Structure 1
């Protein structure tokens, strides 16, 4: 794995489009990314992390427009997207097209875990010609007591210990929040918080109060 700077993002994009893995920083953690349509690339993330296949990777949207084109946006989802995207919220959304969904099984079928990021991860999704699947850079098994990587040095340790083949890691310094995306299930009329995280539950409830 080679460390690169944020202004070398095109190198990471080229690697992703060639079927390789890259790691990018967010405010929360460093995220390991692959082409969401490349089964082998996504499988190498699962294997490296020892991540259960039942836990979907996150689909990183290139834009708000893409959210509406690809997924069923309930009234609650629309309110949450307006309030918190791009940002630290992920939603579980239903694919509009089942055939399209089958091409992105790593992020979930018939529902996907979806987010729109404001930083480097979002830039990667906007500029890449392939869809981006991502998850935290760390082992998912009980031997990992540290949690997801918040520095490039911790990414290097994860890559070395897991023997995961990663082309590049963009060194964005220290991720200051060291916390997860808040996840809200928006597949039904009533939105439900399924995992707490950066966005507080009071903020979620305030955003969807008008449609609840």
Structure 2
């Protein structure tokens, strides 16, 4: 694995498009990424992390418009996207078509975990010709006291121990938040928080309150 600078994104994009793995910094953690349609590349992430296949990787959107094109956006999802994207909130969304879902199986079928990232990860998703799947750079061991990597040095340690073949790691310094994305399940009309994280539950509730207030009252 080679460390590269944040201004060398094209190298990471070329590697992704060629079926290789790259690691990208976010405000929360460093994320290991692959082509979301390359099942073999994504399988290498699962194997290296020891991650159960039942836990899907995240789909990183290239743009807000792509969310509506690819996924069923409920009123709640539209509202959350308008308030928190790009940012540190992810949504569980239903694919619009079964064929698209099958093509992106590593990020979930029939639902996917979806985020629009504001940093280098989002830039890669926008500029890449292939869709981006991502997950934290660490072992999926619930008993481990070592969380996802927050520095390039920690990424190097993880890659060496896991023996995952990674082309590049973008060295973005220290990830200051060291916390997860907040996940909101928007597969049904009534959205609900599936996992707590950076975006506080009160902020999510405040955003969703606007949806409730905008809906007409049922006639008696």
Give the structure-1-normalised TM-score: 0.99
User: Which segments of 5 or more consecutive residues in structure 2 lack a partner in the other structure?
Assistant: 213-220
For 1:74 and 1:211, locate their aligned partners in 2 and report how far apart those are by CA, in whole Å.
10
For 1:52 and 1:143, locate their aligned partners in 2 and report how far apart those are by CA, in whole Å.
15
User: Which segments of 5 or more consecutive residues in structure 1 lack a partner in the other structure?
Assistant: none
Tell me the residue number matched to 2:188.
Answer: 188
* RMSD, aligned α-carbons: 0.7
Tell me the residue number matched to 2:176.
Answer: 176
Aligned pair 1:87/2:83, yes or no?
no
For 1:127 and 1:92, locate their aligned partners in 2 and report how far apart those are by CA, in whole Å.
23
Tell me the residue number matched to 2:29.
Answer: 29
For 1:111 and 1:160, locate their aligned partners in 2 and report how far apart those are by CA, in whole Å.
33
Tell me the residue number matched to 1:149.
Answer: 149
Shift of 1:143: 5.5
Contact 1:138 1:144 in 2 (8 A): no
The runs of at least 4 consecutive aligned structure 1 residues that moved more than 3 Å come to none
Shift of 1:142: 3.9
Describe how 1:1-212 pairs up with structure 2 within 5 A. 1-142=1-142, 144-212=144-212
Shift of 1:146: 1.3
Across the two proteins, how many residue pairs are aligned to each other? 212
For 1:158 and 1:99, locate their aligned partners in 2 and report how far apart those are by CA, in whole Å.
35
Give the structure-2-normalised TM-score: 0.95
3-state SS of paired residue (1:91): strand
Larger radius of gyration: 2
3-state SS of paired residue (2:146): coil
